[in-house]
Amino acid sequence: MRTVVENDVVPPSSQSAIQAQFVTITEEEAGQRIDNYLLRVCKGVPKSHIYRILRSGEVRVNKGRIDQLYRLAEGDLVRIPPIRIAEKASQQATPGVEFPIVFEDTHLLVIDKPAGVAVHGGSGVSYGVIEQLRAARPQAKFLELVHRLDRETSGLLLIAKKRSALTNLHDQMRDGVTDKRYLTAVVGDWTNKRQHVKLPLHKFTTPDGERRVVVQAGGQEAHTVFNLKRKWKDFALLEAELKTGRTHQIRVHLASSGFPILGDEKYGDFALNKQLQKATAERGALKRMFLHAYQITFTHPDTGQSLTLRAPLPAECDRFLVSLGQAIA
């Protein structure tokens, strides 16, 4: 991004930007929507304000008005109007954090995300993985999430370091080229070695702003394949193979089939989850949701080679399985 400012105004990411400036879009920035671009570069500015200045026409591209759906092109000249950020926002600096790296090159960064960490800020979360990575790598010209994981889910998370890589991987996921596998532990007497679940999912938001999903006729088509890995008297370890990538797909497909994921606070067995918090003579404790993105296969966006990456089961999940003793199947 090359910036020309009026009267030496500071960049949009600064917390005291108060005058208009003009930004020339680079090759790496091209292709993204103007609203997403502004949300990224105008750190600390409320989303509602970004959309207000877009609606009012204060943001111009090549001296013309555009709407929030406009996709930027290399060489576009963007006028960003004067923005003053509240003092409160300026005090909330995002800490720079690096996460365990599974793979990295000039195009991609793949990390092993811990459970309990959101992938991005929003919905009451000040910041997530992507904001922390950007803070830790201020020299990085481009860092964007390729896909998402639920906050409570651990495992492989892909981050693009070039827009071309982001676009390529999005195309692969849309076309069903990528193969994403999860490990999950459920309660119940699971019997089938391999089971297809095809239940339509409807996404909605509760009055308090929480995202929820239900199985509902007319919802989005969703398909998960479950492979039985190990079985105990009351529990089973499954491999979930995603054929579609809907919000909370694995969690809702299992809960609706009568096999809720252990530790799932949205769709699980809440009484059991409370019991699992404490160890007993028969098993150890489990204080998280047992869902882990352990394997992904995709085509490298630059070399064209097939890559299969894996992240080992987190220690807490592994200890819980060991505590269950010898599997019966």
Kindly state whether residues 191 and 296 are assigned to the same domain.
Answer: yes
Kindly state whether residues 283 and 180 are assigned to the same domain.
Answer: yes
Kindly state whether residues 229 and 304 are assigned to the same domain.
Answer: yes
Kindly state whether residues 206 and 237 are assigned to the same domain.
Answer: yes
Q: Which of 240, 210, 214, 216 is nearest to 227 (CA)?
A: 240
pLDDT value of residue 6: 41
pLDDT value of residue 92: 59
Residue 49 belongs to domain with CATH number = 3.10.290.10
Residue 142 belongs to domain with CATH number = 3.30.70.580
CB 283 within 8 A of CB 324: yes
Residue 95 lies in a domain: no
pLDDT one-digit tens code per residue, 231-278:
999 999 999 999 999 999 999 999 999 999 999 999 999 999 999 999
Kindly state whether residues 149 and 118 are assigned to the same domain.
Answer: yes
Kindly state whether residues 184 and 312 are assigned to the same domain.
Answer: yes
pLDDT value of residue 169: 95
Q: Is the pLDDT of residue 45 over 70?
A: yes
Residue 50 lies in a domain: yes
Residue whose pair of structure tokens reads 């869902």 in the numeric block: 291
pLDDT value of residue 165: 94
Kindly state whether residues 61 and 198 are assigned to the same domain.
Answer: no
Span 91-103, mean pLDDT? 86
Instruction: Name the band, by pLDDT with cuts 50, 70 and 90, for residue 124.
Output: low
What's the number of domains the chain is made of? 3
Kindly state whether residues 144 and 261 are assigned to the same domain.
Answer: no
pLDDT value of residue 10: 39
Span 119-134, mean pLDDT? 84
The b-or-e profile of 177-192 (16+ CB within 10 A means b, else e) is: ebebbbbbbbbeebee
Residue 306 lies in a domain: yes
The C-alpha atoms of residue 275 and residue 87 are separated, in whole angstroms, by 44
Q: Global pTM?
A: 0.77
Kindly state whether residues 129 and 38 are assigned to the same domain.
Answer: no
pLDDT value of residue 13: 44
Kindly state whether residues 226 and 272 are assigned to the same domain.
Answer: yes
Q: Is the pLDDT of residue 87 over 60?
A: no
CB 283 within 8 A of CB 320: yes
Range of the domain at 49: 2-85
Active-site entry in 112, 150, 264, 269: 150
Q: Taking all residues of the chain, what is their mean pLDDT, rounded to a whole number?
A: 89
- The count of C-alpha atoms lying within 13 angstroms of the C-alpha of 255, restricted to the half-sphere facing its C-beta, is 20
pLDDT value of residue 54: 92
Active site residue 189: no
User: Which of the listed residues 29, 58, 85 is the one where a domain comes to its end?
Assistant: 85
pLDDT value of residue 208: 75
Residue 266 lies in a domain: yes
The C-alpha atoms of residue 166 and residue 103 are separated, in whole angstroms, by 16
Provide the sign of the torsion angle of the four alpha carbons 154, 156, 162, 166, taken in this order.
Answer: negative
Kindly state whether residues 108 and 81 are assigned to the same domain.
Answer: no
